Amino acid sequence: MLGKTWVILKFFFFLLLAVALAPEIVVCATAANESEAASALADADAELTLAYLAVLKAEEAGANVTRLLVRLNESGVLLARARMAYSEAEFEETINLAISTVSIGVEVQAEAVRLKTAAVSESVQRVMLTATASIFGIALIAFGSFWIWSQLKKRYEESTIPKSNSQDAFTDER
């Protein structure tokens, strides 16, 4: 009987110990999740800022960033939802929404860099085409002006040079 009592006593001791330590374990787990959620929110906020700056640079380069702005808006909505979840102590939801925000931010940054590169390349091609056309046009005007000048000079010389002597002799005999 003493053995059975000893087992029951051990059971109640461990039960009492578990009940006493359970709030601390839960608080530690919650604190860890809270710090992870706060860190995830900070990362998401930083990533969204970087994505916005990348889109701004792409737009300044002349890229069409309409689709990227839509994706940034989606990411902003997810970040707002993550902040709401954090304020309601839903840390797992906060982390999941923050991860989605970061994912969209990285995607938008990569696309913005690609669009910026394409816009800069297109701009360089446009400048080269304009420069080539301008040089060709200037050369054409210069050669055309020289040709017209030579034709006018030729006509002027023909009209001002005295006629040959044979014609003068013919006119004198009359």
pLDDT in tens, the chain (174 residues): 556 665 565 655 555 555 555 554 444 444 558 899 999 999 999 999 999 999 999 999 999 999 999 999 999 999 999 999 999 999 999 999 999 999 999 999 999 999 999 999 988 899 999 999 999 999 999 999 999 999 998 888 888 876 655 555 555 555
Judged by DSSP in three states, 174 sits in coil
Contact between 75 and 51 (Cβ < 8 Å): yes
Does some domain include residue 154? no
Whether the predicted model's global pTM rises above the 0.75 cut: no
Q: Helices 91-160 and 66-87 meet at what angle, rounded to 10?
A: 160
Does some domain include residue 166? no
Contact between 122 and 62 (Cβ < 8 Å): yes
* Cα 162–Cα 163–Cα 164 angle in degrees, nearest 5: 120
Does some domain include residue 58? yes
Does some domain include residue 140? no
Q: What is the pLDDT of residue 51?
A: 96
Rounded Cα distance between 13 and 7, Å, is 10
Rounded Cα distance between 137 and 129, Å, is 12
Does some domain include residue 173? no
Number of domains in the chain: 1
Does some domain include residue 171? no
